[in-house]
Structure 1
Amino acid sequence: MTWAAAVPAALVTAVWCVLPGMLVARAAGWRGIACWGSAPLISIALIATTAIGAGRIGVPWGPWPVVVTSVAVAAAVLAVRAAARISARRRSASPESVDASPPAAGTGSRWAFLHRSGPDGGHAGLALAVGMGVTIAISWLTVVLAFGPVDAISPTYDAVHHYNAVARILDSGDGSSLTVGELTTPGQPSVYPAAWHDLVALVVLTSAAAIPVASNLVALAVAALVWPLSCVLLLRQLVGRRPGAFLAGPILATAFTAMPWMVMTWGVLWPNLLGLALVPAGLAAAVTVIGLTRDSTIGRPAATVLGVVAAPAIALAHPNAVTSLLVIGLSPVVCAAVVSAVRLFRERRPLRAAAALIAAGAVAMAVLWFLAWSPFLAGVRSFDWPATMGAREAVLGVLWNAMNQRPELFIVSVLVIVGAVFALRSPLTGWLVPAHATTGFLYVLAVSREGALTTALTGAWYNDSYRIAAMLPITGVPLATIGVLGIAGLLVRAALRLRRVDPTAERRRMLALPVTAAVIAALVLASDGFRIGVHAYTVAGTYQREATWMLQPGQREFLDAAGQLVPPDGLVAANPWTGNALLYALTGREVMFPHMSGRWTPDQQVVKEHLRDAGEDRSVCEAVRSTGLTHVIDGPVSYWPWDERAHAFPGLTELGQTPGFEPVASGGGSTLYRVTACDPGPPPG
């Protein structure tokens, strides 16, 4: 399949990312940025929670459960709004709308919505449309250069699990996060956040795309749609009705290597990619609830509901992202408390001022306890990634957005610094600076220091500097956008003064959008699309470099052929470190060991260690019959051959001259055998 042929599947992916949430948001009365920006968050919440509900009642996973749930939730929201209207009419002789935002004014032509003055100000629709158009183009070009073929496989440790988790959902019809973890813990209930896998499975089911294609298209959709729209919602709440922000914000969301591009190649951390992409929308809800907004388009009650929706959406994408939301969200809470305390002191109400500060301190201590001592994170705090650089290099990496030794991003870094200066001028945006600094500090700890302090503060992210680095753009994007708005504002003032025209607010507003457009266009051209080449090269590091290939030349074709030879009810044993575990994802034929690590059953352990002895040791056949094993693939270890775990499957090797294994097909250095050692009759020999 070519990238051009994948366009219909890409559109299907975009629909799943946006349409369910948009249906509910529109039912809630939200328009403009509030609707578009919250749609991905609500969509993921609907998809992930519906998968759990469908699994509990035995409904197979697919598009219809999501459609029914989305319509039902939208209808419920409409019913609540109708009840609220009736209540308002009874209380007032001149009732007012209870919508969270005023309805957009005007009708006109089909394109009038791009220009009319609605809840987000004049030309907001046009600005967002142009900004998102450029963003999609940049993202599409980046992934085409990075992935190569649209069906390219990510040859990474975690990718094997993610691909096969989707295959399990398609095979079993169960996409519940309460059961997907059983992929690597057979027979043992195991929770694993499956929002990503549920979404990929939906794309497969509704577009006929293969799992690798659907995975790549979902990654593209998250980078090009989910992440930028989420950032725009946060910007809308922070800077108000400034269409320049809706133009520049989405484009700047593609400008940082650490997020979304690095997360597409390291790990691979696809669930983290999805979870972090939703965090800005969660922050938008948080700052609205605590009152740090300008011309808010979402009321506090609605923002509270959105925050409640954000929790399961982000958690079911990846719990790491919830922790990121808590840590970044601490800054606006403290900032709001300080602003409130100052106001209360000035009003001679010191007790209330002290109470505000104490409450903020309690929240900060709760977050610190959660990071350092909470039993919920005890398991992940045990992971330890060694330091890889000195503190000075790490700090410079944060300053120039060159974390984990990636190329410096000078233009966007200068924008972040300029934006920080402008942001500090208002308490509504000032919290972005300490939040950015906090994330930078955590990254510096993780990448340059080892010890108890590092474990306590960064263990929630597995002490993984890549996961923490991906948090920086969450505040970096709004800071850079504020920087662009600030520069554009200075240029507008300078232009008006040069023409000796009074720089009134109305004149500045009229010029703000075109000048912002000129600034962002100049920056895009000067930086080659905010370093498209750098970002593509970063992602291509795992997709296109031979040294990291998991599949040997010809091995993928061999697996496709093997899938035709193994019956639908067959079960295949293969050392996952050979790449042959991808048989499940590529063909739908179940494999006994779908990932490199797992808590395998006793019978699986017997197969793993002693299958090659089945012709001589008849006790092995008990495990073969118990598991339903029919075939085995023998091949060379291609992934991390220096890792001792890669050689922990001795029972699946050297089968060529071993009695009881009938060769069926060969290719790419691997051979498919049918297990005959346990067939009825005399032992083979």
Structure 2
Amino acid sequence: MSADWLGQIPAFLIACVLLVGPGLPAALLLRLRGVVLLAGAIVVSLASIGAGSLLAPLVGLRWSFVPVVIVAAVITAIAAGLWFVRRSAEGIRGGDGPGVWIGIGTAALGWIAILVVGISSVEHPTQLYDGLFHLNAVEFILSNGDASPFHMTMVLPGATSTFYPTLWHALVALIVPFTSAVVPATNIMTIAVIAVIWPVALATVTSVLFPRHRAAAAWAPLVGFGFSVFPLGFLNWGVLYPNLIGTLQIPLILAFVILACRHGLPWAQRVGLALTAIAAMGATALGHPSALLGAVALLVPFAAWRAWQMARAGGMRTRVIVVIVGAGCAVALLTVWRFANVTTHEWLPNSTLAAALGEVAFLSPVGRATGLLVGPLAFIGIWTVVKSRRWWILASHAIAIFLFLAATWLPVLSLRSAIVGVWYDDATRVAALLGVMGLPLAALGATVSWDWIRTQKQQGRTVRAVAVLVVGILLAATHLSAVVSDVRYMRNVSFRFDAQSQGLSSEEAELFSLAATKLGPDSLVIGDPLTGAALLYAYTGRDVVFPHVTGKYGADAEFLARSLNTGTAEVCQSIDALGVTHVLDFGERELFENHFTTYRGLHELAGSPILTEVASVGESASLYEVTGCR
């Protein structure tokens, strides 16, 4: 591990405490035990951060740990009240054996190692399209002291309110003071949420789904390494930071909804679990609303099964109520699904049905390297569930499969968009849902397989047991190709940071350092965001006209994007209207070629009669001052 990573260990520990600490007292008071305790602490912590981002501007507080502590204190007080009402109630246990903690710890260390190697250096920014927005959004929160999702107006200058899920950016903003900059804070938080939340989430939902197979919760975090599209795929596509923090929480929603519906719970405990489930839903929605809708879709079979149980056990009045409530919920879900549709038709079906089904079978979706163990383990898990007749679990996994097939294959675009438009018709985002039930099923399959191997050995069939174990190890090794592929892509593309980076180069970042000494607090800089010039804002806090590629920046900004290099009187009028003082030119390389938004007027600026070069690094990174318009 390089020195720059070692120097960020305190920031990483603070990030981990932030993910668990605020919610731990409430989780203890709710009598959660085992891995469910850690899961509850994460849920309440993320909910406190999300609710704090909403509360802070309403009470005049800048974004900091203070509103998080206030919300966490309120939630803890509610949990204390529920504890006092039922002081003698038993704890809610799940995944509390030593094997579970070994599995979680091993998985956490594994993800830390993979991400450190993939990102290469804590100072390396993501080089993908959406990274421009997400890095700058953190700086926007820091500059304005406001992390509310209703105030993320960075790409809408002049707007007073809009909605954009900001849980990710709020999290990163909280640890920036401990890392000194937005980029390292983003990388540290990326490692923390994956290493802490994902193993715990998988172990928790598996322990809740399969309580009779206690070892499955220990296997779940480990089989997660075999699912290539998530979480590493979200760092190599997009980059999808909000979807990442949202999708990480889906298993937690499922777990706490199922726990809240357990038979025989005292009302106080049921209320506590229900409130925890609601908190998980709220935090997930503030991570990314599509993740919440995905969780709700996966919960439909469980809700239908519980409704059927209630209807069978009750009289005619109960059945009528169940039907009315069920119909109302179905209408509400379909209505929200329709209005939450954000179809862009930017991603079209690109697979045959046979290929898509093959990817489902091996749990290796969207054309990624295929491992040969996790899919067969999931089939063993499915067969085990079939024998126990817990059909709703299979129905939930079937919904994830249906959504994936619609995204990657369905040729009827209008129908496809109606089904998966919530995820921008993007197969990569939808594919992550396959792991929510698929990985717990694979963990169940691993448990059944391991028990079979042990039984064979105990019965004296050692050769058979060893042969199957060796085959399993060899099949597990096939998943290394997917991990290596992701890490290689991270190092060579997504987080590459040198003169050949597809977005921001190391020379351009060096120019940012020079620019910080030459720009005043009121300076306004324009540059083609597709070249990485937009990241001047994240690196220095100096305002830029285009913090992202898309947005509503006004007629003057659009005119300069097309025509600034002409240096005409009309150009000067728009410069004066906006108050532009400097221009960045980072050459011709762009991180997203052939984009529909044109910024051709922000190139070839050398020799412009209205600009004077004030700093440069290398052959293509230059900072100009506007000198010929006044």
**TM-score clears 0.5:** yes
Preserved contact between residue 581 and residue 626 of structure 2 (Cα < 8 Å): yes
Q: Write the letter of the residue equivalent to 1:43.
A: S
- 1:633 equivalenced with 2:595 (yes/no): no
From 120, 124, 127, give the equivalent of 1:152. Answer: 124
Preserved contact between residue 253 and residue 277 of structure 2 (Cα < 8 Å): yes
User: 1 CA distance for matches of 2:564 and 2:415?
Assistant: 46
- 1:40 equivalenced with 2:3 (yes/no): no
Distance 1:529 1:631, change over 3 A: farther
Q: Deviations over 1:42-98 (max 9, x none)?
A: 21111121012112233111223223332343234324533x25xxxxxxxxxx524
TM-score by length of 1: 0.82
Cα displacement (A) at 1:636: 2.0
From 113, 121, 127, give the equivalent of 2:99. Answer: 127
Cα displacement (A) at 1:582: 1.1
Distance 1:355 1:29, change over 3 A: closer
Q: Write the letter of the residue equivalent to 2:91.
A: S
2:419 corresponds in structure 1 to 457
Preserved contact between residue 47 and residue 279 of structure 2 (Cα < 8 Å): yes
Instruction: Map 1:35-434 to 2 at 5 A.
Output: 35-82=37-84, 84=85, 97-98=88-89, 101=91, 119-120=93-94, 124-180=96-152, 182-188=153-159, 189-205=161-177, 207-240=178-211, 243-291=214-262, 299-338=269-308, 344=313, 360=326, 363-364=329-330, 366-371=332-337, 374=338, 376-378=339-341, 380-426=342-388, 429-434=390-395
Preserved contact between residue 372 and residue 475 of structure 2 (Cα < 8 Å): no
Q: Write the letter of the residue equivalent to 1:443.
A: F
User: 1 CA distance for matches of 2:248 and 2:467?
Assistant: 26
Instruction: Map 1:606-621 to 2 at 5 A.
Output: 606-612=559-565, 616-617=568-569, 620-621=571-572
2:428 corresponds in structure 1 to 466
2:628 corresponds in structure 1 to 677
Preserved contact between residue 488 and residue 519 of structure 1 (Cα < 8 Å): no
Cα displacement (A) at 1:554: 2.0
Structure 2 gaps of 5+ residues are none
Q: Deviations over 1:238-276 (max 9, x none)?
A: 222754233212222332112111112111111111101
Distance 1:532 1:524, change over 3 A: farther
1:440 corresponds in structure 2 to 401
Preserved contact between residue 143 and residue 536 of structure 1 (Cα < 8 Å): no
Preserved contact between residue 633 and residue 670 of structure 1 (Cα < 8 Å): yes
Q: Write the letter of the residue equivalent to 1:629.
A: V
Preserved contact between residue 9 and residue 209 of structure 1 (Cα < 8 Å): no
Percent of counterpart pairs with the same letter?
Answer: 28
User: 2 CA distance for matches of 1:359 and 1:48?
Assistant: 29
User: 1 CA distance for matches of 2:251 and 2:204?
Assistant: 7
Preserved contact between residue 665 and residue 672 of structure 1 (Cα < 8 Å): yes
- Most deviating of 184-193 and 73-82: 73-82
2:575 corresponds in structure 1 to 624
Preserved contact between residue 138 and residue 529 of structure 1 (Cα < 8 Å): no
TM-score by length of 2: 0.89
User: 1 CA distance for matches of 2:190 and 2:41?
Assistant: 17
Q: Write the letter of the residue equivalent to 1:662.
A: T
User: 1 CA distance for matches of 2:128 and 2:267?
Assistant: 42
Preserved contact between residue 152 and residue 543 of structure 1 (Cα < 8 Å): no
Distance 1:569 1:127, change over 3 A: farther
Preserved contact between residue 44 and residue 313 of structure 1 (Cα < 8 Å): yes
Preserved contact between residue 371 and residue 475 of structure 2 (Cα < 8 Å): no
User: 2 CA distance for matches of 1:285 and 1:478?
Assistant: 15
- Most deviating of 445-454 and 526-535: 526-535
Aligned pair count?
Answer: 617
The alignment partner of 1:253 has SS state of helix
Distance 1:658 1:294, change over 3 A: farther
Preserved contact between residue 196 and residue 271 of structure 1 (Cα < 8 Å): yes
Distance 1:241 1:224, change over 3 A: farther
Preserved contact between residue 256 and residue 401 of structure 1 (Cα < 8 Å): yes
Distance 1:529 1:163, change over 3 A: farther
Structure 1 gaps of 5+ residues are 86-95, 103-118, 500-517, 680-685
1:113 corresponds in structure 2 to none
User: 1 CA distance for matches of 2:374 and 2:266?
Assistant: 27
Q: Write the letter of the residue equivalent to 1:473.
A: G
- 1:16 equivalenced with 2:18 (yes/no): yes
User: 2 CA distance for matches of 1:578 and 1:325?
Assistant: 37
The alignment partner of 1:673 has SS state of strand
Preserved contact between residue 30 and residue 79 of structure 2 (Cα < 8 Å): yes
Which protein shows a greater Rg? 1
User: 2 CA distance for matches of 1:593 and 1:409?
Assistant: 42
Q: Deviations over 1:381-420 (max 9, x none)?
A: 3444211121111111111122111111211111111111
Preserved contact between residue 238 and residue 294 of structure 1 (Cα < 8 Å): no
Q: Deviations over 1:589-648 (max 9, x none)?
A: 22110001111123433443444456x51x655543443322111232322564153533
Q: Deviations over 1:500-550 (max 9, x none)?
A: xxxxxxxxxxxxxxxxxx999989964667834522422542542378721
Q: Write the letter of the residue equivalent to 2:610.
A: G
- 1:575 equivalenced with 2:546 (yes/no): no
The alignment partner of 2:229 has SS state of helix
Distance 1:178 1:359, change over 3 A: closer
Q: Write the letter of the residue equivalent to 1:283.
A: L
Distance 1:605 1:453, change over 3 A: closer
1:554 corresponds in structure 2 to 507
- 1:478 equivalenced with 2:446 (yes/no): no
From 586, 603, 620, give the equivalent of 1:653. Answer: 603
- 1:565 equivalenced with 2:515 (yes/no): no
Q: Write the letter of the residue equivalent to 2:12.
A: A
User: 2 CA distance for matches of 1:295 and 1:395?
Assistant: 41
User: 1 CA distance for matches of 2:478 and 2:76?
Assistant: 39
Preserved contact between residue 94 and residue 208 of structure 2 (Cα < 8 Å): no
Q: Deviations over 1:367-389 (max 9, x none)?
A: 34543xx3x224x0344421112
User: 2 CA distance for matches of 1:161 and 1:323?
Assistant: 23
User: 1 CA distance for matches of 2:330 and 2:371?
Assistant: 32
The alignment partner of 1:334 has SS state of helix
- 1:600 equivalenced with 2:572 (yes/no): no
Preserved contact between residue 14 and residue 225 of structure 1 (Cα < 8 Å): yes
Distance 1:330 1:213, change over 3 A: same
Cα displacement (A) at 1:317: 0.2
- 1:538 equivalenced with 2:489 (yes/no): no
Q: Deviations over 1:550-599 (max 9, x none)?
A: 12452222223222322233221111011111111122222110001111
